[in-house]
Amino acid sequence: MIRKMTNPEWKYYPKNMGNKLHSLCSYMAMFPPSIPHFFIQKYTAPRDTVLDPFSGRGTTPLEACLQGRIGIGNDKNPLAYVLTFAKTNVPQRGCILLRLAELEKNYEPSDISVKQVEWQIRMIFSNYTLKQLIYLREQLNWKTSNVDAFITAMVLGIMHGNSEGYLSLKMPNTFSMSPNYIQGFVQTHGLKRPKRDTFILLRKKLNRCYQKPKVKGKAYNQDARHLRWIKSDSIDLIVTSPPYTHVIKYGKFNWIRSWFLKEDARKIDSQLFHTQSLTRYLKFMTGVLAEMQRVLKPNGVSVLVLGDVRDKYSKIEVNLASHVWRSCAKPLDFESIEEIREDRIPENTKVSKIWGKLKKGRATKVDRILVLRRRPGLKKEVR
Ligand SMILES: C[S@@+](CC[C@H](N)C(=O)[O-])C[C@H]1O[C@@H](n2cnc3c(N)ncnc32)[C@H](O)[C@@H]1O
């Protein structure tokens, strides 16, 4: 029986652990850097290897690299992948500035027509800004070059928000509202698309968030159940927060950033895991934990942050951490080495308040942290 423990130690740490690179771009359901920071300190030494198989904006691998560990991030979502790639392979500041200067020099607005772009995107940016975005979207090779990935991540970070540091009309930063909602809101409130210079804002963003971690890491774009680029018995620590049961559609709620990446939002969602069925969720998590067991070194530790969810039909709160422990981790012969910790999250950090009427997701305010150790003995076969 696992006892539960409240008031986690990381609550007393500073926001972002004083590291400005964490703010490169916001991401839905991101966890605070203080959580991986605490467990990296507790369970690893410098040069150890730390993995997050659901890395999102890259919080765990970045925090690992900043602490002199080798941070590895993986996420099936291309948006998460580019953010993780940018943070684990940070180029020299001079290389970024040179590339920006080259891009700006070769930019020729008269060659570009905004008509080629769908109305949903055109209603958000002024023609002046949109031409720059269309150009950068064509030029930036974010899949192969770390300099271009860093610039792309900065564009994604300033793409939409509610101040003069952003390229769009006034709107939430963390996620995109639906096109029809934006259209209605723009008409009702008479919002105007601001004329913003992307190159100027990118240089300002670079000044705000640039930081070079001590150690380089790695980024992958695989399904978390098949991390084929990661060797067996190679990872010292995993710190991760897997998707919950059907709370977030990362593609749909990031359709503006997906456009910039030339990725189809619906296709992204079809490739990510989400379900409303607890049975299917536990089957998925069994596959994920089996893969974690494969890549972990004997005695390696895995920290899972799992939010409680409310069942869609019965409206009963489901303690996912306890289900994952009993139905997935225990049968795989993981050892639970800490009491489950409870982390209560203030309601107002869950959604942006800028546009008032937003609905809250079904995720509740309680996150639970499960700490598991891979036993040194033989691993069980999982089907
Ligand atoms: C709760 S978020 C992780 C957020 C992250 N901790 C952060 O701080 O940004 C869960 C992540 O799981 C990813 N995901 C969903 N299904 C996946 C799968 N089958 N394989 C790999 N990643 C997946 C989503 O894209 C999302 O980024």
Of 44, 33, 36, the C-alpha closest to 300 is 44
Name the token pair of 252: 């749909």
Of 50, 57, 51, the C-alpha closest to 83 is 57
Mean pLDDT across 3-11? 71
pLDDT at position 128? 98
Of the ranges 13-22, 219-228, 351-360, the best mean pLDDT one? 219-228
Q: What is the pTM of this model?
A: 0.94
Report the separation in Å between the CA atom of 241 and the middle of ligand 1, taken as the mean of its atom positions.
7
Mean pLDDT across 309-329? 88
Name the token pair of 344: 């209560």
Q: Higher confidence at residue 16 or residue 7?
A: 16
Name the token pair of 93: 């500041």
| Ligand 1 touching residue 273 (CB < 6 A) | yes
Q: What is the pLDDT of residues 20-69, one digit of tens each?
A: 999 999 999 889 999 999 999 999 999 999 999 999 999 999 999 999 99
Q: How far is it, in rounded angstroms, from Cα 327 to Cα 321?
A: 10
Closest residue (by CA) to atom 11 of ligand 1?
Answer: 54
- What's the angle, vertex CA 74, arms to CA 73 and CA 76, rounded to 5? 150
Least confident of 170-179, 264-273, 309-318, 357-366: 357-366
Q: Indicate the length of the chain as a whole number.
A: 383
Q: What is the pLDDT of residues 146-155, one digit of tens each?
A: 999 999 999 9
* CA-83 nearest atom, ligand 1: 9
pLDDT at position 29? 86
Q: What is the pLDDT of residues 248-304, one digit of tens each?
A: 899 999 999 999 999 999 999 999 998 888 999 999 999 999 999 999 999 999 999
| Ligand 1 touching residue 255 (CB < 6 A) | no
Cβ-based burial of 127 (10 A; exposed 0-12, middle 13-18, buried ≥19): middle
* Predicted confidence (pLDDT) at residue 357 exceeds the cutoff of 60: no
pLDDT at position 312? 74
pLDDT at position 347? 56
Mean pLDDT across 303-323? 87
* Predicted confidence (pLDDT) at residue 132 exceeds the cutoff of 60: yes
Confidence of residue 3 (pLDDT cuts 50, 70, 90): low
pLDDT at position 4? 62
pLDDT at position 380? 52
Of 305, 148, 146, the C-alpha closest to 213 is 146
- What's the angle, vertex CA 225, arms to CA 223 and CA 231, rounded to 5? 95
Report the separation in Å between the CA atom of 4 and the middle of ligand 1, taken as the mean of its atom positions.
25
* Predicted confidence (pLDDT) at residue 120 exceeds the cutoff of 70: yes
